[in-house]
């Protein structure tokens, strides 16, 4: 495998400083654990379909699917993003529905991060109307202190501080999604 450059401790995005928070290794190790758990949970249930929530969850969805050592399917749902803000607008707008037939399926909604919880709740409520056989949720990150609505998440990678993060699919004004590690806004630099 080609070697990848070590992740820097500090990155700058749109003029703001972010510091390394979760390394590529920590992220991938945790995703492997989640994949094993999902495989075990669905072994006697059926083939799950992962519904990745775009854009932020595209990377996590791909890695989670590869971490599940059993059959799974994938499709995507697209919601509007934060734009260039670091604060959730509270407005969730649907930009692309799921194409796959979900009735009778075992659905796992896959989010990059649950912040206020509004997006996850919106997607879960929408998918519920399509009569899946079962419906669970997975997220790589969750900010417990930012929750505005209660939403049950069955597979959580990491509970994190209530600060803005970038990298590993998550953006700041559409940038920084390419970073392999996750960076958090540097408080001292705020």
User: Rounded to whole angstroms, how far apart are CA atoms 103 and 119?
Assistant: 21
**Quick one: tokens of 132?**
């899946």
Residue among 42 and 109 whose Cβ is closer to ligand IMP: 109
3-state secondary structure of 182: strand
Q: Confirm or reject binding of residue 114 to ligand IMP (CB under 6 A).
A: yes
**Quick one: tokens of 39?**
């495989």
Cα Rg of the chain (Å, integer)? 16
Shortest CB 11 distance to ligand IMP, Å:
14
Binding-residue total with ligand IMP (CB under 6 A): 19
Element spanning 66, H or E: helix 58-67
152 vs 25, 89, 114, 121, 145, CA distance in Å? 27, 21, 10, 9, 15
User: Rounded to whole angstroms, how far apart are CA atoms 168 and 53?
Assistant: 14
Shortest CB 102 distance to ligand IMP, Å:
20
Give the residue, chosen from 49, 51, 65, 170, that forms a contact with ligand IMP under the rule CB under 6 A.
Answer: 170
Q: Are 155 and 14 within 8 A, CB to CB?
A: no
Give the residue, chosen from 31, 111, 132, 157, that forms a contact with ligand IMP under the rule CB under 6 A.
Answer: 111
Residue among 88 and 126 whose Cβ is closer to ligand IMP: 88
Instruction: Write the binding mask 51 to 90 for ligand IMP: x where contact by CB under 6 A, - elsewhere.
Output: --x--x------------------------xx-----x--
Q: Are 79 and 96 within 8 A, CB to CB?
A: no
User: Could you give the residue numbers annotated as active site?
Assistant: 115
- Contact region with ligand IMP (CB under 6 A), list: 3-11, 17-25, 63-71, 163-171: 163-171
Give the residue, chosen from 119, 127, 135, 140, that forms a contact with ligand IMP under the rule CB under 6 A.
Answer: 119
Q: Which residues bind to ligand IMP, rule: CB under 6 A? A: 53, 56, 81-82, 88, 111-120, 164-166, 170
């Amino acid at each position: 495998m080609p070697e990848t450059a070590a992740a820097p401790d500090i990155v700058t995005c749109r003029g703001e400083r972010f510091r390394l928070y979760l390394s590529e290794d920590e992220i991938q190790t945790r995703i492997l654990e989640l994949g094993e758990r999902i495989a075990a949970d669905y072994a006697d249930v059926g083939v799950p379909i992962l519904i990745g929530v775009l854009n932020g969850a595209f990377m996590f969805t791909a890695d989670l699917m590869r971490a599940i050592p059993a059959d799974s399917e994938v499709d995507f749902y697209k919601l509007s993003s934060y734009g260039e803000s670091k604060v959730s607008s509270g407005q969730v707008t649907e930009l692309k529905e799921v194409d796959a037939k979900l009735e009778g399926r075992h659905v796992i909604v896959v989010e990059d991060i649950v912040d206020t919880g509004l997006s996850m709740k919106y997607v879960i409520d929408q998918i519920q109307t399509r009569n899946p056989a079962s419906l669970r949720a997975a997220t790589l990150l969750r900010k417990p202190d930012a929750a505005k609505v209660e939403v049950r998440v069955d597979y959580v990678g990491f509970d994190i501080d209530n600060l803005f993060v970038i990298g590993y699919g998550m953006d700041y004004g559409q940038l920084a999604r390419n970073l392999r590690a996750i960076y958090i806004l540097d408080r001292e630099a705020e």
